[in-house]
Chain A
């Protein structure tokens, strides 16, 4: 019993070998991050951050779990690289804060919080429809709509133009028509900055439940925005119904409904 839960660590020599074997791969992660955000992977310190994360992972790696080292370390190295990028001088130096490039960077950095599978080199595809092209397009739409929510929220939080306020009101209006549980899901992800997995953990439910529900909500938002009025409401999936009951018991109407009530009242 005890041996099943005991963590096995590599010897220092084996851990060092992992670092030697994978340092080129870790650097390529740092270079990818720098390339996409138009930074210098060395000058902006992404190389050091990636290396530190690689060493950390080599010390923590537990081979008995059956996960390949790359599968274990990739997300952490990627996260270290993006964190270093956001703290770097290049992040603010190469483009003025209000420029479209700077805004796009900020949004893309937030998208990693919503869709952490991107750090593993995967689009948000949770189940195959049998058509790869369709799955890819659907995942890209999910990213685009997600990015649009982030963009609207960021625009209102900083220095909103009248158009931004209209877009915000429109989006919040559509969200406010949702079930309280669905409103909370969107709020926690896009306003509180939690990942879908973290929301699932917080709600003590399976990650796939939340991911599938999020996809349904994005499709709902897409449809409603295209129609100019709320589309037929999505039903709460059985795996989340206990939470619906909980929100109802608490008398919660949902954060977006509250925002609209506050604005009109």
Chain B
């Protein structure tokens, strides 16, 4: 009999402790704050822009990559018939020239001092 009483007491204490644990779920409200961080997705877009400077900004370091892209796109457009094949070489060279002349040694915003 005595043993049974003791068992009941222990059981009751155990359940009340777990109720305290439910209080901890109040912390879930802090998870809501993390949801606020989901709006940081917008910031990732900003960081992309800030990495490249103003929209469309190109630098001398990107020169080789840009020239390769011009060749690739010229090839595609010529294959589609958008650029006449007789013009392809001249048009590709013209675009390479105009991009190359826009790339300045020392970058866009670097100051010497």
Stretch at the interface among A51-59, A124-132, A192-200, A243-251: A124-132
**CA distance in complex: A136, B80 (Å):** 20
Known contacts A32-B103, A117-B56: does B80 contact A130 (CB below 8 Å)?
no
Stretch at the interface among B4-12, B22-30, B31-39, B81-89: B81-89
Q: Please give me the residue from chain B that is nearest to A146 by CB atom.
A: B95
| Cβ proximity bits B92-113 to A, threshold 8 Å, 1 near / 0 not | 1111111111111110110011
Residues on B with C-beta less than 8 A from A214 are none
**CA distance in complex: A124, B102 (Å):** 12
Task: Report the minimum CB–CB distance from A234 to chain B (whole Å).
Answer: 16
Q: Please give me the residue from chain B that is nearest to A70 by CB atom.
A: B109
Q: Please give me the residue from chain A that is nearest to B82 by CB atom.
A: A225
Interface size of B in residues (CB-CB distance below 8 Å)? 45
Q: A-side binding surface: helix, strand, loop or mixed?
A: helix
Contact B95 A111 (CB under 8 A): yes
Known contacts A28-B106, A128-B45: does B94 contact A228 (CB below 8 Å)?
no
Residues on A with C-beta less than 8 A from B56 are 117, 122-125, 135-136, 139
Contact A127 B112 (CB under 8 A): no
Contact B48 A128 (CB under 8 A): yes
The answer, yes or no, to whether A216 is at the interface (CB within 8 Å) is no
Contact B94 A151 (CB under 8 A): yes
Q: Please give me the residue from chain A that is nearest to B46 by CB atom.
A: A128
Contact A226 B81 (CB under 8 A): yes
Residues on B with C-beta less than 8 A from A167 are 84, 86-87
Residues on B with C-beta less than 8 A from A21 are 112-113
Task: Report the minimum CB–CB distance from A83 to chain B (whole Å).
Answer: 13
Residues on A with C-beta less than 8 A from B89 are 100
The residues in B between 44 and 67 inclusive whose CB is less than 8 angstroms from any CB of A are 45, 48-49, 52, 54-59, 66
Interface size of A in residues (CB-CB distance below 8 Å)? 63
B87 CB contact (under 8 Å) in A82, A112, A141, A148? A148
Residues on A with C-beta less than 8 A from B92 are 144
Contact B101 A37 (CB under 8 A): yes
**CA distance in complex: A2, B53 (Å):** 34
Known contacts A36-B101, A100-B93: does B45 contact A145 (CB below 8 Å)?
no
**CA distance in complex: A154, B87 (Å):** 11
Contact A128 B105 (CB under 8 A): no
Known contacts A37-B97, A104-B90, A127-B55: does B81 contact A32 (CB below 8 Å)?
no
Q: Please give me the residue from chain A that is nearest to B85 by CB atom.
A: A163
The answer, yes or no, to whether A14 is at the interface (CB within 8 Å) is no
Task: Report the minimum CB–CB distance from A31 to chain B (whole Å).
Answer: 7
A108 CB contact (under 8 Å) in B45, B73, B87, B95? B95
24 A-B pairs in the complex with CB atoms less than 8 angstroms apart: A24-B106, A25-B112, A28-B105, A36-B100, A115-B98, A118-B98, A122-B56, A137-B69, A140-B66, A140-B69, A141-B73, A143-B70, A144-B92, A144-B95, A147-B91, A147-B94, A151-B94, A161-B86, A167-B84, A167-B87, A221-B82, A222-B77, A222-B82, A226-B82
Interface set of A (CB-CB < 8 Å, partner B): 21, 24-25, 28-29, 31-33, 35-37, 68, 70, 78, 82, 100-101, 103-105, 107-108, 111-112, 115, 117-128, 130, 132, 135-137, 139-141, 143-145, 147-148, 150-152, 155, 161, 163-164, 167, 221-222, 225-226, 228
- Extra inter-chain contacts (11) besides given A36-B97, A128-B45, A143-B95, CB under 8 Å: A21-B113, A108-B101, A118-B102, A122-B56, A123-B99, A137-B69, A139-B56, A140-B73, A144-B83, A151-B91, A167-B86
